[in-house]
């Protein structure tokens, strides 16, 4: 293919869809995901791990001789990282290694000050395992995990005005690389897996999507088109869970276009550019062996004994799948509801707290309303700054009949927006309580007085005039009153006078 026809092929991607009837298409995708762990210190030195800091620190301020790769310095392994890696391994049904070590992956690149990255190659910290997702046919599907290993993050390159700066703050952040088998049949399945993975990592407390910690994936995609197999393409540098589906969808259509033009996708490495929404060819792929891995003599062999693994296994929190199943059993929830309520562990905890004070029905309803409100603000519950007891207080008040649905939802919304408890919101916005019937009667009396012609109409037999009066009371109470009750009081008032 000449270079001009190649450009043309790529420009036409958007006009093709992968759904022609007489085409037989198979997609196979595997993922290698790098997760920045939220430990206090870096992987091999005592420098602060910058990912959990509120603000990004000034460049090259969280560095020392070790993470700068100075000659003669020696790395010391952060034990917490090994613990977290084993937690993740057990949560993903993988087998932790009994004995493992670190290797040097040798390559030259300006972000790699030692000219090698300390990683695990020959024996990863864990291998095997699986994650269950909802497959494209809506049935449960197990995605097999091939390996999980620990490695250090390289420095960050900052490209600016035609030159490049290096920020070593990132050098030495602990990474967990999680590699799957090529088990995904579509970009959607890859996204479902990453969402599930993030959920599990957040349950374990080793990763937090509300911090600066990132999750980045490289994907390999191979396709078969009407019996013709294309070669495997690597797609690098895909950030987050949403971007994965977009990047992979682009790549699937790009390869499909090659097939449709009578070609076969060739083996190459491409980089995903999320700003432009296209992938670009980088190079023909090098093999792993070409990195010249060698044992790192600066770090001791790690022996992991059964007790250590057993202790970590015994302390694992309840994971999303188990919690979902328990919620269905214990609270009689439908699977989809249980899934929503367990998506975020803090939300799940809140829901259970609510269930101890109010009915399950009200707990479900108001947890879902809270989630909708948080979602509107693109916020996680733990970012909202609302203690559980504020929610308990509000839903209890609702259940006791203090506030209508409309007002309860409004108080909840203001609670999220202003980070204030119910009592402050109610006081500030003067929300009337349904409990305060005396107050309600007073309002109704005022409405009756102020709307003589509607009252006359009603008395003259035009009963529908009462609807107008109910509406006026609802307006006065800003939706705070129970319309049924208002109608009752109005009727008795109009009929006796």
Work out whether 67 is an interface residue with Zn ion (CB under 5 A): yes
| 152 contributes a contact to Mn ion by CB under 5 A | no
For residue 395, the partner it binds in Zn ion, Mn ion, none, with Cβ less than 5 to 8 A by kind, is none
Which of Mn ion, Zn ion, none interacts with 177 (beta carbon under 5 to 8 A by kind)? Mn ion
Q: Strands 116-119 and 103-106, how do they pair?
A: antiparallel
Of residues 10-29, which lie at the interface with Mn ion (CB under 5 A)?
Answer: none
Within 13 Å and on the Cβ side, how many CA atoms surround 430?
4
Q: Do the beta carbons of residue 406 and residue 399 sit within 8 Å?
A: no
What is the closest distance, in whole angstroms, from the C-beta atom of residue 37 to Zn ion in the complex?
15
Supply the minimum distance, in Å, between the C-beta of residue 40 and Zn ion.
13
- Per-residue contact track with Zn ion, 231 to 250, x per CB under 5 A? --------------------
Structural contact between residues 127 and 147, judged by C-beta atoms closer than 8 angstroms: yes
Stretch of residues binding Zn ion (CB under 5 A), selected from 42-50, 79-87, 209-217, 297-305: 42-50
Smallest distance from Zn ion to CB 75, Å: 9
The yes or no reply on residue 47 touching Zn ion (CB under 5 A) is yes
Q: Residue 218 interacts with Mn ion (CB under 5 A)? A: no
CA–CA separation, 345 vs 352, rounded Å?
11
Draw the binding track, 172-191, toward Mn ion (x: CB under 5 A; -: no contact).
Answer: -----x--------------
Do the beta carbons of residue 225 and residue 261 sit within 8 Å? no
Residue 396 to residue 453: CA distance in whole angstroms:
40
Q: Which residue has the tokens 């009994």?
A: 98
Residue 64 binds which entry of Mn ion, Zn ion, none, with Cβ cut-offs from 5 to 8 Å by kind?
Answer: Zn ion
Rounded Cα gap, residues 461 and 467, in angstroms = 13
Q: Are 184 and 192 in contact, with CB atoms under 8 Å apart?
A: no
Q: Is residue 171 within the footprint of Zn ion (CB under 5 A)?
A: no
| Residue 366 burial (CB count, 10 A) | 24
What is the closest distance, in whole angstroms, from the C-beta atom of residue 149 to Mn ion in the complex? 8
Any residues with CB less than 8 A from the CB of 24 and at least 6 apart, and which? 224, 225, 226, 227
- Tokens matching residue 149: 């290993």
Q: Applying CB under 5 A, which part among 58-66, 105-113, 188-196, 256-264 lies near Zn ion?
A: 58-66
Helix or strand (DSSP H, E) at 255: helix 242-260
Q: What does the binding site for Zn ion look like in residue numbers (CB under 5 A)?
A: 45, 47, 64, 66-67
Q: What does the binding site for Mn ion look like in residue numbers (CB under 5 A)?
A: 177
């Amino acid at each position: 293919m000449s270079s001009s026809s190649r450009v043309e092929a790529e420009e036409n991607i958007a006009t093709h869809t992968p759904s022609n009837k007489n085409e037989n298409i198979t997609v196979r995708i595997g993922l290698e995901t790098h997760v920045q762990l939220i430990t206090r210190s870096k992987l091999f030195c005592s420098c602060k791990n910058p990912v959990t800091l509120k603000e990004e620190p000034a460049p090259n301020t969280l560095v020392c001789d070790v993470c700068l790769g100075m000659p003669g310095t020696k790395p010391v392994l952060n034990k917490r990282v090994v613990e977290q890696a084993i937690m993740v391994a057990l949560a993903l049904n993988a087998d932790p290694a009994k004995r493992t070590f670190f290797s040097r992956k040798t390559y030259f690149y300006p972000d790699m000050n030692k000219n090698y990255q300390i990683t695990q190659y020959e024996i990863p910290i864990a291998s095997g395992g699986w994650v269950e997702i909802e497959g494209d046919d809506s049935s449960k599907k197990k995605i097999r995990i091939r390996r999980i290993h620990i490695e250090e993050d390289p420095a960050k390159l900052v490209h600016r005005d035609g030159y490049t700066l290096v920020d070593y703050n990132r050098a030495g952040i602990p990474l967990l690389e999680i590699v799957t088998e090529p088990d995904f049949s579509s970009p959607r399945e890859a996204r479902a897996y990453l969402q599930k993975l993030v959920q599990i990592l957040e349950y374990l407390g080793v990763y937090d999507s509300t911090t600066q910690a990132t999750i980045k994936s490289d994907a390999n995609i191979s396709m078969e088109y009407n019996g013709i197999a294309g070669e495997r393409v690597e797609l690098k540098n895909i950030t987050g869970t949403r971007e994965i589906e977009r990047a992979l969808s682009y790549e699937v259509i790009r390869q499909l276009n090659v097939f449709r033009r009578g070609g076969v996708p060739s083996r190459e490495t491409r980089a995903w550019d999320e700003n432009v929404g296209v992938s670009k060819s980088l190079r023909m792929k090098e093999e792993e062996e070409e990195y010249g891995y060698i044992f790192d003599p600066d770090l001791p062999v790690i022996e992991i004994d059964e007790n250590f693994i057993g202790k970590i296994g015994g302390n694992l929190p309840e994971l999303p799948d188990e919690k979902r199943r328990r919620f269905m059993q214990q609270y009689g929830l439908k699977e989809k509801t249980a899934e929503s309520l367990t998506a975020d562990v803090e939300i799940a905890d809140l829901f259970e707290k609510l269930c101890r004070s109010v009915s399950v029905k009200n707990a479900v309803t108001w947890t879902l309303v809270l989630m909708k409100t948080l979602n509107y603000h693109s916020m996680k519950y733990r970012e909202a700054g609302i203690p559980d007891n504020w929610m308990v207080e509000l839903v209890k008040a609702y259940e006791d009949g203090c506030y209508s649905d409309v007002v309860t939802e409004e108080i909840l919304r203001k609670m999220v927006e202003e980070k204030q408890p119910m009592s402050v919101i109610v006081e500030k916005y003067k929300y009337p309580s349904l409990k305060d019937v005396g107050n309600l009667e007073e309002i109704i009396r005022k409405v009756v007085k102020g709307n003589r012609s509607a009252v006359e109409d009603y008395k003259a037999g035009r009963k529908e005039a009462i609807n107008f009066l109910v509406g006026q009371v609802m307006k006065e109470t800003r939706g705070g009153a129970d319309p049924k009750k208002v109608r009752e009081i109005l009727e008795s008032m109009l009929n006796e006078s």
